[in-house]
Structure 1
Amino acid sequence: MSETSGLSPGTAALAFRMLRERGVIASTHGRRSRVAQLPALPRPVGGPGVPSGVRDLSTASPDPLLLPDIGALLSPDLYEPALYDSESVHPALARVMRTQFAADGIVGPLTATNGALDAMERILAATVRPGETVVVEDPQWVSSLSLLRVLQLEVAPVPVDDEGLDPGALAAVLASRHCSALVLTPRAQNPRGSVMSEARAAALRAVVAQHPDLMVIEDDHAAPITDTPAATVTTDRRRWAVIRSMSKALGPDLRLAVTASDRDTADRVQGRMLLGPGWVSHFTQRIVAAALSDERSLDAVRHATEVYRQRRSALVAALAAYGIAAHGASGLNVLVPVHEEAAVTAHLMTKGWAVRPGEGFRLGTPPFIRVTTARLDPVDAVHLAADISEAVDGGTRRRDE
């Protein structure tokens, strides 16, 4: 470049470095630089405000009425001072989470972070270098894609179905590109709601076994409110991490996730955290440990899990009555395939429903809308399904009675 532009090699190198730092280009050691796949600015996490009188089904938040009463757990002895030499994960929380992970065959050192996305950022920053490629699900959570852009990472999309990643497509991607990490969601995949079965997990384990240096990261963000068994791809891996967040079950404002991982990853993440925030508040950790050990709180979580299942199922069934095959096996969302996202979302807005277009989630998959059903009553699901049918094909479909 310096020869063709007349610039000095130092100036050309500086220009490339600035472009990399801004996410405009991506490069790896020994390879040519190329324009980054993701936009130079992060994708917006939230859309415009929802107008008055419109039901907000666009934000994947839990129903606040279904969250446990955390205030009831507060007691004079809950707070105890934590000093600089305290364990980063409070022993009470470590006991509870170690038991939960072990019940699913996941054993490794624990780290606590301020939510699942914070854990994801710290793990990727500790294990993957800028310009390297990360395998992701397609469609993928918007915030995750934004994070990858900020970290200057390239993405290799692999399609998902109702059981998660397509093993054949994953094998093809790993055979054709050098990938440093794989990020997948075993349950409550956002936006599709996929649930990884044990058979699918076994097939994926066979694929990644051919790539022993691949970092495998599972974002099990909604684990406490999923009614399906846990399956994992991380078994017998050298480099791995499984993230479990408390946000969907206990409330987003607690800002706590616990990760089990290999020792090297745990040490890297915790070591870097000590140079920043230091640790997640032990007061918060003790509250979460108390909630995960309290029968009333656990009953509330189990009740919420069942209500979320009923609300998802109600919309999927209501859409099926119009011949629309939607997807939502777990979690808080239902994915509805459409031909024109903008037209459908605009039509639904006029009917009083705000939903999320799939554009920000998609890398190569067909259009869709995401409907968050966390606060959608089954009776209202019938009316929403009718409005979606009208938006999709002008109401030409008739509901099967």
Structure 2
Amino acid sequence: MATQYEISGATAKEIAASVERGVTDGTLEPGVALPPVRRLADGLGVSPGTVATAYKELRQRGIVVTRGRGGTVVASSPAVASRRPPKVPEGLRDLAGGHPDPGLLPALVPPSRLSPGARSHRSAPRLERLEDAVRDWLGAEGVPAEHVTFAHGALDLIARVLSVELRPGDAVAMEDPGYHHLLDLVTAMGLRIVPVAVDDEGVRPEAVRGALRTGVRAVVFSPRAQNPYGGCFSEGRRQTLVEVLRDASDALVIENDHASAVADAPLRTVTGAGPARWVHVRTVSKFLGTDLRWAAAACDPVTLARHDGRLLLTSGWVSHLLQETVHGLMTDSGTRALVARARETYARRRTALGRELAARGIASHGASGMNLWVPVRDESAVVNGLRSYGWWVAAGARFRLASGPGVRITAAGLEPADAERLASDFAAVLGESEATYGG
């Protein structure tokens, strides 16, 4: 749709700043179309090249996107305005957030031994004992763990790696549907997304092969607990992907194992077997606590050097207090027992909901992890319909690129008895929407 916001400026920099102000204050909302280049140039009395330069800068910074004949529009999650998930309406059961059950998380107790005085840790950014624990953790599941590093969460690590490997305009192969914050991040970095279809076994090899043929510079996927679809690699899928990636010498492969310990599926990693350039990323927020903004990664030596070089120039290191806390939890027998119980509980709850939905003729996907993806014809009708029954689920639009509509349901805190009621309400909503929209 056309916008009434009046863009101003006589130079490319001024025009770009004017658009940015409109996006920042909310006048130019996501999806709003900007004027065609020539029309805006005529209106401002500048050359079309000046407007084109302004639009290019805005694209590179992730503020706008170009949709071919659809023109230039404000990005769905512009980099200058943080998009937060909608607030859960009062009185509704929240099944939209993708969060773990708080009752299955350990208590976060800061270490009693604090870092002495004000000093730099740049010469020794990682605690040796935590490095050893990470190598044991990753190596036990077949990930080559000679070279490891830490970051402030998985998104922080992935962003840093992409920033040193790619330039604005480069293409990245991403899961579709995929993790919405990661999709937003890549767009905000000015990178171009090539959608890669997924199924119950993870990314589809033919889709990855097709993306590589287009010249993508990086491929990002999850080997298990894929968010939101729940897919996990079978051994056959893993082997096929290894063969596809073996010839992709120019592409960096990022394996995002975000749920790891509570994924309820074995890790079938492609690292060390297929790609020459690779990163295996793990975070602990799903099973040790969402406030533990820490991630570990194993990677090839070139990627390690580039990541750590950029880290050195920015935050320098991950807090040693945070590292001490993570190490204490990872090596505590009681915490390990709690994580094992969480893994079993999430599997039981996810399976129960899938079974109840299937009993009512509703197909869903969720082979591993905490979520189920339910394909639907009309996302808004389902989300609003379930809201009337007291449930709050996530519309699939935030996760999709080219794939079909659906909703994501987080089953992490949903007891089997509640699953039966939700499935019944879901069936009722589908019946109501078919009556409303013509079936």
Q: TM-score, normalised by structure 1?
A: 0.89
Are the counterparts in 1 of residues 93 and 392 from structure 2 also a CA contact under 8 Å? Answer: yes
1:121 aligns with 2:159: yes
Q: What is the alpha-carbon distance in structure 2 between the residues aligned to residue 16 and residue 341 of structure 1?
A: 32
CA contact under 8 A between 1:78 and 1:286: conserved in structure 2? no
**In 2: Cα distance, 1:56 partner to 1:39 partner:** 23
1:105 CA drift (Å): 2.3
Match of 2:112 in 1: 76
The residue type paired with residue 152 of structure 2 is: N
| Equivalent-residue separation in structure 2 for 1:170 and 1:164 (angstroms) | 11
Structure having greater relative contact order (Cα 8 Å, sep ≥ 6): 1
The equivalent of 1:31 in structure 2 is: none
- The residue that corresponds to 2:191 in the other structure is 153
- Structure 2 unaligned blocks of 5 or more: 1-36, 435-439
For 1:112, the equivalent position in structure 2 comes to 150
Q: Is residue 362 from structure 1 mapped to residue 403 from structure 2 by the alignment?
A: no
Counterpart for residue 363 of structure 2: 325
1:97 is aligned to 2:126 = no
CA distance in 2, matches of 1:15, 1:47: 30
What's 1:137 paired with?
175
Indicate conservation of the 8 Å contact 2:60/2:191, yes or no: no
Find the counterpart in structure 2 of residue 216 from structure 1.
253
How far 1:19 sits from its partner (Å)?
3.2
Whether contact under 8 Å (2:121, 2:317) holds in the other structure is no
Deviations 1:182-228 (A, max 9, x none): 00011111101111122111101111222211110011011121222
Residue type of the alignment partner of 1:188: A
The residue aligned with 1:267 is 305
Determine the C-alpha separation between the residues in 1 that align with 2:405 and 2:295.
Answer: 31
The answer (yes or no) to whether the contact 1:45–1:143 under 8 Å persists in 2 is no
Structure 1 position 353 matched with structure 2 position 391 = yes
Question: Partner letter of residue 215 of structure 2?
Answer: H
Report Cα offsets for 1:284-324 as digits up to 9, x if no partner.
Answer: 11111111111101001001111111110110010011011
Distance 2:136 2:332 in 1: 15
Aligned length: 385
Percent identity for Structure 1 against Structure 2: 41
Q: Report the Cα distance in structure 1 between the residues aligned to 2:398 and 2:284, rounded to whole angstroms.
A: 25
- State the partner residue of 2:207: 169
Deviation at 1:76, TM superposition (A): 3.3
Q: Deviations over 1:327-385 (max 9, x none)?
A: 11111111111111000100100100000010111111111110011111110000000
1:359 counterpart SS class: helix
Could you tell me which of 18, 26, 38 is aligned with 2:57?
18
In the alignment, what sits opposite 2:342?
Answer: 304
Any idea what SS the aligned residue of 2:287 has? helix
Q: Secondary structure at the match of 1:121?
A: helix
Letter of the 2:112 partner, please give it: P
- The CA distance in 2 between the partners of 1:45 and 1:372, in whole Å, is 20
Instruction: Please name the residue that 2:103 is paired with.
Output: 65
Q: SS at the partner of 2:198?
A: strand
Per the alignment, residue 375 of structure 2 pairs with: 337
Quote the offset at 1:37 in angstroms: 10
- Of the three residues 187, 202, 208, the one matched with 2:239 is 202
Q: What SS is found at the alignment partner of 1:70?
A: coil
User: Alpha-carbon deviations, 1:44-98, whole Å to 9, x = none?
Assistant: 7543212221101110111111002333xx5534656663344222111101111
Q: Secondary structure at the match of 1:253?
A: coil
Q: RMSD of aligned C-alpha atoms?
A: 2.5
Match for 2:327 among 289, 294, 298?
289
Q: CA separation in 1, counterparts of 2:72 and 2:270?
A: 32
CA drift of 1:173 comes to 2.8
SS in 2 for 1:349: helix
Counterpart position of 2:268:
231
Is this contact kept in 2: 1:186–1:232, CA < 8 A? yes
CA offset at residue 38 of structure 1? 5.5
Letter in 2 for 1:255: R
Do the aligned partners of residues 306 and 357 (structure 1) sit closer, same or farther apart at CA in structure 2, a change above 3 Å counting? same
* Distance of aligned partners of 1:9 and 1:161 in 2 relative to their CA distance in 1, 3 Å threshold: closer
Instruction: Say whether the 8 Å CA contact 2:263–2:370 is kept in structure 1.
Output: no
1:7-53: per-residue Cα shift (whole Å, max 9, x none)? 67984774355333443357xxxxxxx95895472597543212221
- Partner residue, 1:242: 280
How many angstroms apart in 2 are the aligned matches of 1:145 and 1:234?
A: 22
**1:154/1:21 Cα in 2 relative to 1: closer, same or farther (>3 Å)?**
closer
